[in-house]
Every structure is written in C-alpha cells, then in structure tokens.
C-alpha cells in the first residue's frame, strides 16, 4: 500500500473509525424525564424584564450625565479661583 497521494488531502480511510468518540470537555447533564426544555420561558415575563432593563438603563444614563455635569462644574470652579 502506497502512502503517496496525488493531493495534500489524505485518502479516506478504508476501514471505519474504530476508536470511540473523544470525551466531552464538560459533563452534560441527563434530561429529566417528563420535563420540557422551554418551560422557563413560559414562566418569565420577558416584556416586563425588558421594560425593567430599559428603566435601569435610563437611570444609569441620568446618573452618568449628572456626574459629568458635577465634575465639569467643579473643574470650572477650581480653575476660576
């Protein structure tokens, strides 16, 4: 059997791979019988969560804006003295 091939790609194996699959990088939990995967989404109110996050984001932006205004006012105050 020759090892030289006309291309860089190796030939397909003549026999199927007899080695077992490599282990998973992390253990995968077994599915709980009788439990669907999408039940959590049915319990969560995603619209309410999005509204809450929008409110928090607006509060954070206001806080950052006030901090910048205060720092620029203090900077101006100390420069004029």
Range of the domain at 58: 44-80
8 Å CB contact between 64 and 58: no
In a domain, 59, yes or no: yes
Q: What is the DSSP code string of the chain?
A: -----SSSSPPPPSS---SPPPPPSSPPPPPPTT--TTHHHHHS-HHHHHHHHHHHHHHHHHHHHHHHHHHHHHHHHHHH-
pTM for this model (two decimals): 0.41
In a domain, 33, yes or no: no
Q: Quick one: average pLDDT of 52-68?
A: 94
Q: What is the pLDDT of residue 35?
A: 66
pLDDT band for 66, please (50, 70, 90 cuts): very high
Q: What is the pLDDT of residue 15?
A: 65
The residue written with tokens 């019988």 in the block is 33
Q: Does residue 65 register a pLDDT over 70? A: yes
User: How many separate domains does the chain show?
Assistant: 1
In a domain, 30, yes or no: no
Q: What is the pLDDT of residue 6?
A: 63
In a domain, 76, yes or no: yes
* Higher per-residue confidence, 20 vs 48: 48
In a domain, 67, yes or no: yes
């Amino acid at each position: 059997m020759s090892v030289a091939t006309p291309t860089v790609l190796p030939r397909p194996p003549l026999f199927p791979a007899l080695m077992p699959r490599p282990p998973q990088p992390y253990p995968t939990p077994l599915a709980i019988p009788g439990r669907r995967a999408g039940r959590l989404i049915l319990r969560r109110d995603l619209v309410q969560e999005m509204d809450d996050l929008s409110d928090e984001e607006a509060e954070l932006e206001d806080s950052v804006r006030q901090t910048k205004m205060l720092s620029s006012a203090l900077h101006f105050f100390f420069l004029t003295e």
